[in-house]
Amino acid sequence: MQTLHEAVQAMLSSEAQRHFIGGEWVGAQSGKTIPVNDPGSGKEITRIAAGDATDVDSAVAAARTAFRKSGWATMPVNDRAVILHRLADLIDKHVEPLAQLESLDVGKPLAQAQFGDVPNVSQTLRYYTDLSVHTRRAEPIAVSGYEARSIRVPYGVCAFIIPWNFPILLVGWGVSPALAAGNTVVIKPPEDASLTALYFCKLAKEAGVPDGVINVVTGYGEEAGAALAEHPGINRMSFTGSPEVGRLIAESCGRNLVPVKLELGGKGAAILFNDIDVSAAATALSGAITLNSGQVCCTATRWIVHESIMDRFVDSATSVLSQVAIGHGLDASTQMGPVISEKQRKRVLGYIERGEQEGANVLLRGGVPDSLEFDGGYYVRPSLLGGSPDNVCAREEVFGPFAFVMPFSDEDEAIDLVNRSNYGLANSVWTADLERANRVAEAMVAGNSWINAHNVFVHGIPYAGCNLSGMGGGVLGPDTFFDYLRPQSIVRPLG
Ligand code: NAD
C-alpha cells in the first residue's frame, strides 16, 4: 500500500475540512459536518463541512464581489492566462497528493488518478486558457448607417455541481472554460468525494487567483446543491450527475431564468460486427466496464454482438473479467477498486438481482468477493448478463462493473437496438469495414459515436449528451469556452 504524501497526511489529520469562500477556509455556519469514508476499507478518514443555504449565500456573495471588484473579469486576457498557467503548473507539481486523495476518496486505482484524472485537469486548464488568449472578444458588424460591433463578456457567477465518479477531472472540465473567460465560480463538489476540489482551492490561492474568484461549498445535494441551483445570484449553472437531479436543477434555473448546462447519465452501447479481432474487442470492452469500477456515465454497458461471434466473444470477455485484480485503490496491483459507497453497491447488486428475476441469463456471476481482505470495503465483482432488450438491466443505468449482451443478425437490427434507449450519451461501433463504421456511427442517436474504441476524450473534440443524457452545450470542445461568454452588441447610428 502506498505511503501517504505529507500534504495528504496533514489534510486528513485536521478534524474537518472547511469550505473555501472569499479566499478563506470557513466551517459550516451550522457547525455540522459529514463523515468521509475510504470506500476501500469503509473507515472514516476525515469529515467535511455540511454546507447549507447560509453558506451558499456567503459563497455566491463572495463570487459576486470578486466579479465586480477583484479585477479578474476585466484584467488583460494575457495576465489572467499567466495565473491560470501557474495553476496548471502547480497541479502538475502536486499530482501525487491530488491523486492519493482522489484514490482514497473515490476508491479508484491510484494510477488512474495519477496518470489520467489529475493530469487531465492541468491539460484542460491549459487548453481553455490558450484558447482564451487567441479568441477575439470584439467583432465589427458591417451594416450601413451604423457603427456597430459585438463584444463577448463573461456572465458573472457560474455555479457547478459535480458528481463523485470523476470529481477532480470534472472540476477541471467545468471551471476551466468559465475561469478562462473571466467568470467567477462557486463549486458544490459531491458529498462522497470533496477532498480534491478543496485541495484545488489551496493551489488556486498559491497561483494568485484573486480571493472570491473560486469558491467551494461542500455538503449534501438536497441542502447545499439545491440552495446553489435556486440561488438568484448566480448567472449560469452547470450540473453533472443523474437525470433525476438534473431535472430538479433545470426547474430551479428555469424559475430564475438562469442558463443551464446538464451533463447526465447514459446507457452506452457497443455494436460488434463479425469482422473484428474478437479477443482484442472483448479485452477493450471489459476494460471499459471495469474502468472506475464501471462508474462511468458514457461506458458501454450494452454489448450488441453479431450472432456468429457471440459465443467466442462471451468466452473471451468472461475470461478477462474473471481475472481483473480487485483491491484497494492505493495497492499498486489493483486494476479495479471498490464502488464509491455501500449505497452504490446495493444499487448495483439490486439491479443484477432484478435483471435475473426478469429472465436474464447470467453469463458471469459477479457479487461481493468473499475474501477477508475485502472486509469493510464496498467491493463488487464484474457481472455479465444477456437476454431481452426489455430487461431492466438493458434499459437502466446500473453504474457498476456490469454489461448486458444482446445478439443481432443485421446492421439495421443493431442500430434499432442501440436507439431503443432514452439516453443519448455515447456509443461505439467495432468493425474492420470503415465505410460501415461511419454509416453506423452516424445512425446511432447520441452526442458521441466512437469507432473501434470506447471512452475517447480529447481536448478540442466536443463531448455532450442528447435526450436523457443532457442539454446545453457539453464540454471539452472550443464551443464550451463561448458558453461562458455572453454576447453584447454596441451600436451608434451614423449621421
Ligand atoms: P447525483 O445526481 O446523485 O449527484 C450529483 C451531484 O448533485 C452531487 O454533487 C450531489 O450532491 C448533487 N445533488 C444531489 N441532489 C441534489 C439536489 N436535489 N439539488 C442539487 N444538487 C443535488 O449523481 P451521482 O450519483 O453523484 O453521479 C452519478 C451520475 O452522474 C450518473 O447518472 C452518471 O451517468 C452521471 N455523470 C454524467 C457525466 C457526463 O458527463 N454526462 C459525467 C459523470 C457522471
Per-residue model confidence as pLDDT tens digits over 19-39? 999 999 999 999 999 999 999
* Total residue count of the chain as it appears in this document: 495
393 is known as an active-site residue: no
| pLDDT for 495 | 86
* Ligand 1 contacts CB of residue 474 (under 6 A): no
* Ligand 1 contacts CB of residue 164 (under 6 A): yes
Q: How many angstroms separate the alpha carbon of residue 265 from the centre of ligand 1? A: 8
Lowest-pLDDT range of 76-80, 332-336, 366-370, 488-492: 366-370
Task: With residue 20 as reference, give the H or E element that holds it.
Answer: strand 19-21
Ligand 1 atom closest to the Cα of residue 219 is 11
> pLDDT digits over 258-317, tens only?
999 999 999 999 999 999 999 999 999 999 999 999 999 999 999 999 999 999 999 999
263 is known as an active-site residue: yes
* Ligand 1 contacts CB of residue 52 (under 6 A): no
Active-site position among 297, 298, 393, 397: 297
Q: 431481452: which residue's cell?
A: 388
Ligand 1 atom closest to the Cα of residue 188 is 9
Distances 466 to 37, 153, 166, 439 between C-alpha atoms, Å: 34, 27, 21, 19
Alpha-carbon gap, residue 233 to 249, rounded angstroms = 15
| pLDDT for 400 | 97
pTM: 0.97
* Ligand 1 contacts CB of residue 191 (under 6 A): yes
- Contact between 399 and 411 under an 8 Å Cβ cutoff? The reply is no
Count of alpha carbons within 13 angstroms of residue 401, beta-carbon side: 32
* Ligand 1 contacts CB of residue 299 (under 6 A): no
> pLDDT digits over 203-230, tens only?
999 999 999 999 999 999 999 999 999 9
Ligand 1 atom closest to the Cα of residue 425 is 41
Phi-psi category of 158—alpha, beta or left, where left has phi over 0 and alpha has psi -120 to 50? beta
